[in-house]
Amino acid sequence: MAADIPSFTLNTGYKMPSVGMGCWLGPAGHEETVEQMCKTALEVGYRHIDTAAGYFNEAAVGRAIRASSIPRADIFVVTKLPNGDHGRVAASFAESLAKLGLDYVDLYLMHWPQAAGPDGATIPRGTSPTFVETYKEMEKLLATGQVRSIGVSNFSVKNLDELLSATDVVPAANQVEVHPCLPSVELMQYCESKGILVTATRLWVCRPKEYDGKPVFLEDPDVVRIASDRGTTPGQVALSWGVQRRTAVIPKSENAGRIKQNISLVTLSADDMSTMDAIHKKPGLHRSLLRYHLNARMAPCLGGRTRTWDGT
Ligand SMILES: NC(=O)c1ccc[n+]([C@@H]2O[C@H](COP(=O)([O-])OP(=O)(O)OC[C@H]3O[C@@H](n4cnc5c(N)ncnc54)[C@H](OP(=O)(O)O)[C@@H]3O)[C@@H](O)[C@H]2O)c1
At 129, which CATH number? Answer: 3.20.20.100
**Is 285 a member of any domain?**
no
How confident is the model over 91-111, as a mean pLDDT? 98
Per-residue confidence band for 214, with pLDDT thresholds at 50, 70 and 90: low
Query: Residue 185: is its pLDDT beyond 90?
Result: yes
**Is 20 a member of any domain?**
yes
Query: Residue 212: is its pLDDT beyond 60?
Result: no
Greater confidence (97 vs 214) lies with: 97
How confident is the model over 109-116, as a mean pLDDT? 96
**Is 309 a member of any domain?**
no
pLDDT digits (tens, 9 = 90+) for 3-24: 999 999 999 999 999 999 999 9
**Is 221 a member of any domain?**
no
Query: Residue 208: is its pLDDT beyond 50?
Result: no
Alpha carbon separation from 309 to 14, 16, 54 (Å, rounded):
29, 25, 6
**Is 210 a member of any domain?**
no
pLDDT digits (tens, 9 = 90+) for 268-283: 999 999 999 999 999 8
pLDDT digits (tens, 9 = 90+) for 140-170: 999 999 999 999 999 999 999 999 999 999 9
Task: Give the model's pLDDT for residue 215.
Answer: 59
Ligand 1 pocket: which of 49, 252, 264, 291 to mutate (most atoms <8 Å of CB)? 252
**Is 17 a member of any domain?**
yes
Question: How many domains is the chain partitioned into structurally?
Answer: 1
**Is 177 a member of any domain?**
yes
CB 201 less than 6 A from any atom of ligand 1? yes
- CA–centroid distance, residue 126 to ligand 1 (Å): 32
Task: Give the model's pLDDT for residue 169.
Answer: 98
- CA–CA dist 65, 267 (Å, integer): 30
CB 250 less than 6 A from any atom of ligand 1? yes
Per-residue confidence band for 80, with pLDDT thresholds at 50, 70 and 90: very high
Percent of the chain with pLDDT over 70: 88
Per-residue confidence band for 309, with pLDDT thresholds at 50, 70 and 90: very low
Task: State the chain's mean pLDDT as an integer.
Answer: 89
Given the CA of residue 210, which atom of ligand 1 is nearest to it?
A: 43
User: Which residues constitute the domain of residue 179?
Assistant: 7-205+246-264
pLDDT digits (tens, 9 = 90+) for 287-297: 777 654 444 44
pLDDT digits (tens, 9 = 90+) for 19-76: 999 999 887 888 999 999 999 999 999 999 999 999 999 999 999 999 999 999 999 9
CB 220 less than 6 A from any atom of ligand 1? no
CB 99 less than 6 A from any atom of ligand 1? no
Per-residue confidence band for 205, with pLDDT thresholds at 50, 70 and 90: low
- CA–CA dist 117, 87 (Å, integer): 9
pTM of the prediction?
0.93
Given the CA of residue 37, which atom of ligand 1 is nearest to it?
A: 39
**Is 279 a member of any domain?**
no
Given the CA of residue 51, which atom of ligand 1 is nearest to it?
A: 47
SS3 of the chain: CCCCCCEEECCCCCEEECECEECCCCCCCCHHHHHHHHHHHHHCCCCEEECCHHHCCHHHHHHHHHHCCCCHHHCEEEEEECHHHCCCHHHHHHHHHHHHCCCCEEEEEECCCCCECCCCCECCCCCCCCHHHHHHHHHHHHHHCCEEEEEEECCCHHHHHHHHHHCCCCCCEEEEECECCECCHHHHHHHHHHCCEEEEECCCCCCHHHCCCCCCHHHCHHHHHHHHHHCCCHHHHHHHHHHHCCEEECCCCCCHHHHHHHCCCCCCCHHHHHHHHCHHHCCCCCCCCHHHHCCCCCHHHHCCCCCCCCCC
Question: Is 55 labeled as catalytic in the residue annotation?
Answer: yes
